[in-house]
Structure 1
């Protein structure tokens, strides 16, 4: 009679690698370790352990939250552009207090004789005045410091909300182009020697944008309408206020905001890029036409 000396079959029951006291026959489809029901995570095929799921999630790019107009970032994002613009205006005002030359050299002026006797202005090639004027403010006269105080209050009041919904680059384009729109309208219809300073054109552009976007998405627009009406009344009733700057900024800001707000979702990014560029091209063309008109005949 023969004797069988082969080893006894393996009878041990597999257990969860994280909970050795729990029997299981299910393996992780990624690492092939045994996992109990508590450690199982549903996968496209089979189950995975918690460690493999965590490792996989680290390699997944999370979606960045967006606003209704496609702006990136959380709702609590700091309005960096708004605060930077306020800081730039305050710094320019302090420079004005230090020297009147800051006003002479950077205010909006079509063509005229400066206090130092030189002839300057946009028509003389100083195109930068169209932009730099929106950072300057009247430091004396009828309005004095109230000029910058009101504009900065308005920027602080409506800027963060617009920057949040538009995103930083759209908001910056809106502000700069609105201010430019005010300068261009003054250049077109004002007397060449007429000068102006202030962020009011850009601020009116923000007012117009706030109204358009509010109407588009069902937000409250009553307060901004009231603010607009009051400021327009002041614009046309108080002397020494550039109505061209206010109206030009309002028209450009409202038009650009309409392009932002009513762009088809499928072409939103294209429209949001094209609209500021076309606006800039149109304003630049108007400046060239007016400059040619003011140029002396040869």
Structure 2
């Protein structure tokens, strides 16, 4: 069923409204957040999953050399007598590349399971473009908070920040649709317990991604219909600005 201005319509009814076999612009089906309805609501999720798996295979093939080039850390030497590297040295791409980077098999399995479980429903509810923005900014938000708080030489990698962003967005979406929130809250609670009790977990990435994802999702699904795009653009732009400001502040501290 497709959301209409009043109630819901079946796809055939919407297509039949134009007489040409295509829905008129006014009746074109939209997602809850105002995005276009896609034939395959899992396409972006599949692409992101494939990128993570491909980079994981590349890491297994090339070893530490590729990890040193792509993982997130503030400022350190990757070799004993090598140059000082890191985000503070201008390598801001590490905030992005580390989101798709995994070293251990259990790490990528857990994250990709979360992506496959949470991704398709959100992609269908938000639309592809908004889902991509949510995923990337959640991951960048987690990376920026890690960069801001963690020790400069502490390495961080993985899609966990983005996955926690999907957790936050799912909770917001379920509340908006008035679904039973207990399953997602229990699952989120279990993951937060692991976050703060297991060693070698960058809790900053999890918390940063969770907050970013929840805030962006709230802006997308609660924006007034008449000003929806403006509110959504402002939310994404504001989140990106916060991420940049955190990175600028930390870079000034380290340099």
The bucket for the TM-score relative to the shorter chain is: 0.7 to 0.9
Q: Taking CA–CA contacts closer than 8 Å with sequence separation of 6 or more, which of the two structures ends up with the larger relative contact order?
A: 2
Residue number in structure 2 paired with 1:237: 197
Separation in 2 of the partners of 1:60 and 1:106?
Answer: 45
Matched, 1:79 2:42: yes
Specify the alignment match of 2:207 in structure 1: 247
Give the match for residue 3 of structure 2.
none
Task: Find the counterpart in structure 2 of residue 101 from structure 1.
Answer: 65
CA contact (8 A) 2:111 2:160 kept: yes
2:94 paired residue number: 129
**When the two structures are aligned, how many residues end up with a matched partner?**
235
Structure 1 spans left out of the alignment, 5+ residues:
1-53, 140-144
Q: Deviation string for 1:68-107 (max 9, x for gaps)?
A: 2212125x53421110000000000001001121110000
CA distance in 2, matches of 1:252, 1:208: 8
Q: State TM-score, norm by structure 1.
A: 0.75
- Secondary structure, aligned partner of 1:240: coil
Structure 2 residue aligned with 1:66? 30
Measure, in 2, the Cα distance between the counterparts of 1:64 and 1:264: 19
Equivalent-residue separation in structure 1 for 2:161 and 2:199 (angstroms): 17
Runs of 4+ in 1 over 6 A off after TM superposition: none
Q: State the structure with more CA Rg.
A: 1
The alpha-carbon deviation at position 285 of structure 1 amounts to 1.3
The answer to whether 1:167 aligns with 2:127 is yes
1:224 paired residue number: 184
CA root-mean-square deviation: 1.7
Whole-Å separation in 2 of the counterparts to 1:281 and 1:181: 10
Q: How does 1:4-153 map to 2 (within 5 A)?
A: 57-58=19-20, 62=24, 63-73=27-37, 77-99=40-62, 100-115=64-79, 117-139=82-104, 145-153=105-113
- Which residue of 2 is the match for residue 274 of structure 1? 234
Give the whole-Å Cα distance in 2 for the aligned partners of 1:59 and 1:208.
38
State the alpha-carbon separation in 1 of the partners of residues 111 and 21 from structure 2: 47
Provide the rounded CA distance (Å) in 2 between the counterparts of 1:171 and 1:254. 13
TM-score by length of 2: 0.88
Report how far residue 66 of structure 1 moved.
Answer: 1.3
Residues 224 and 115 from structure 1, CA distance in 2 versus in 1: closer, same or farther, beyond 3 angstroms? farther
Decide whether aligned partners of structure 1 residues 86 and 212 sit closer, same or farther in structure 2, where only a CA change above 3 A counts. Answer: same
Counterpart Cα distance in 1 of 2:113 and 2:180: 20
Structure-2 separation of matches of 1:72 and 1:210: 19
Decide which structure has greater helix share.
2
Counterpart CA distance in 2 for 1:258 and 1:126 is: 31
